[in-house]
Amino acid sequence: MKIVMVSSEIAPYSKTGGLGEAVGGLARELARRGHQVFCVAPYYRCSWGLARAKASGMKLTVPIGSKQLTADIYEAVESVSRREQGRGGDREPVNENLNLVFVRRDEYFDRSELYSTPERDYEDNAERFIFLSKVAVEWLRVRELYPDAVHCHDWQTALVPLLVRLEEQAQHVRIATRTVFTIHNLAYQGIFWSLDFPMTNLPWQFFTPDGLEFYGQMNLLKAGIVFTDILTTVSPTYASEIQTPEGGFGLENAVKARAERLRGILNGVDYAEWNPETDRHIARNYSASDLSGKEDCKRALLERFGLDGDGNAPVIGMVSRLTGQKGIELVEEAFDRILGLGTRLVVLGKGELKFERFWHDAAKRHPKLVGVRIAQDEALAHQIEAGADMLLMPSKFEPCGLNQMYSLRYGTVPVVRATGGLADTVRERGPSTGEGNGFSFAAYDANDLVACLERVVAMYRDKPQWERLQRNGMGCDFSWRKCVEQYLELYEKG
């Protein structure tokens, strides 16, 4: 099949979190299956050195309100390999290609960050991503690919399904068999004031409660929900949650109206990248059959941050955007009690200034107990997954989550709030059966968080039971191989 992905992020060329990793992982697994995959994304400043794309010579001009703006199209080809099964076992790797199509307009994408500064969102985000969506559709028209599916992701590309159908009506030609739109996080909706709507060049009949209008404003995410052929989100539990007032952020009725076309499909993990047996970033490789290397990784992590190296002290890792969604305020409220359990904390992430300041201050006050790095650091993320004893994700809501799935493969026990994809992937350990792969708590409450961590630390002291729990997690399979089958079914049959 021919599949076109349109996204504001694709890892490793651009990412702020799970969106980029999910799009990159899905696209590569589809390419490994031999499908023809094209990924259309912005050519950000951070993409230049990684992608090494070349100018194709194609220039595409689209209207943005009264302006005519031009994008330069850059292209690159990434080789992905798969092993074919033969009668004698695995054959030599077979190389497949992932086609990368970058939209370059430096006025919009040559910036230090993708969407915002630490203080605020970029003021022209509506214009930037309306432009991306229009260029993607124009590229589809000019290339005449006629893909089986155009798969778009989150609010930044939510206009594409509608624009595809309108272009088909105007040109009397079919552009794509079907459109697919995935909600990675409903909290981010691309809401802008109504005076930005003319930049879409859509008829005003689309600025209604049945279209993009949302309490007098323009809601780009709503366009994807309403006008796509197939609607997906990133876990089964989240698919239910976004149809409720608590999880719908004002769009629950729009989602419920498309419920028959909605599927919740868990994101996957690229185990070629996240595997303690082969990980090049960590101090020593290890496996479920020999966990001794994990102790070396723990020592290396403590040394990196200059923390007290008491081997009996459990190390809690957090790799997270520092936002309210991620439950940082619960950790802040429970902070002294968490340290009172004899733990060490290692935190990696960036986000809201108030939370960055909290962690800076925590590390300054407790330099031997708390290690903090305010950044995105891919190598350190791997080192925390390998070196921590447990990973804390107390999210207020979590559409899917990837770090809990990484931690399971690394024998790092996830401690999560049971919401969204966290509820779908982390099974509470049964005290009598020994089954399960982690710990969870239900209420969004600091007391429940501390009570859960008390159970975790008590289990940590019982080394045989703890190692059994680690191995349970390391045996879980959340690979893209499993979930890609569900996407292929949607692409083929709708």
What's the pLDDT tens digit per position in 242-287? 999 999 999 999 999 999 999 999 999 999 899 999 999 999 999 9
Answer whether residue 120 is part of any domain.
yes
Provide the β-strand partners of residue 417: 441
Residue 382 pLDDT > 80? yes
Answer whether residue 279 is part of any domain.
no
Q: Are residue 438 and residue 486 in the same domain, yes or no?
A: no
> What pLDDT band is residue 422 in, cutting at 50, 70 and 90?
very high
Answer whether residue 113 is part of any domain.
yes
Q: Are residue 221 and residue 304 in the same domain, yes or no?
A: no
Answer whether residue 278 is part of any domain.
no
Write the CB contacts of 162 (distance below 8 Å, at least 6 apart in sequence).
202, 206, 223, 226, 227
- Which pLDDT value is given to residue 83? 52
Range of the domain at 422: 292-474
Q: Are residue 315 and residue 189 in the same domain, yes or no?
A: no
Q: Are residue 234 and residue 344 in the same domain, yes or no?
A: no
Q: Are residue 485 and residue 447 in the same domain, yes or no?
A: no
C-alpha–C-alpha distance, residues 427 and 175, integer Å: 43
Longest dimension (CA), the chain: 71
Q: Are residue 352 and residue 468 in the same domain, yes or no?
A: yes
Residue 84 pLDDT > 80? no
Answer whether residue 433 is part of any domain.
yes
Total domains present in the chain: 2
Q: Are residue 302 and residue 223 in the same domain, yes or no?
A: no
Q: 113-162: per-residue pLDDT in tens? A: 999 987 889 999 999 999 999 999 999 999 999 999 999 999 999 999 99
In degrees and rounded to multiples of 5, residue 63 shows phi and psi of -85, 135
Answer whether residue 275 is part of any domain.
no
Half-sphere exposure of 252 (CA within 13 A, CB side): 12
Token representation of residue 93: 């790797």
Q: Are residue 101 and residue 233 in the same domain, yes or no?
A: yes
Distance of CA 99 to the CA centre of its chain: 21
Answer whether residue 287 is part of any domain.
no
Q: Are residue 469 and residue 489 in the same domain, yes or no?
A: no
Provide the edge-to-edge strand list for the sheet that holds 149-153: 54-64, 67-86, 89-104, 36-42, 2-6, 149-153, 178-183, 230-233, 262-264
> What pLDDT band is residue 171 in, cutting at 50, 70 and 90?
confident
Token representation of residue 257: 């109206």
Q: CATH number of the domain that 443 lies in? A: 3.40.50.2000
Distance of CA 452 to the CA centre of its chain: 26
Average predicted confidence (pLDDT) for the chain: 95
Q: Are residue 234 and residue 314 in the same domain, yes or no?
A: no
Q: Are residue 125 and residue 158 in the same domain, yes or no?
A: yes
pTM value?
0.93
- Which pLDDT value is given to residue 93? 61
More confident residue, 201 or 482: 201
Amino acid identity of residue 386, one-letter, is A
Q: Are residue 232 and residue 347 in the same domain, yes or no?
A: no
**Best CA proximity match to 375, nearest among 335, 319, 325:** 319
Answer whether residue 396 is part of any domain.
yes
Residue 52 pLDDT > 60? yes
C-alpha–C-alpha distance, residues 96 and 35, integer Å: 9
Give the residue-averaged pLDDT of 212-240.
Answer: 98
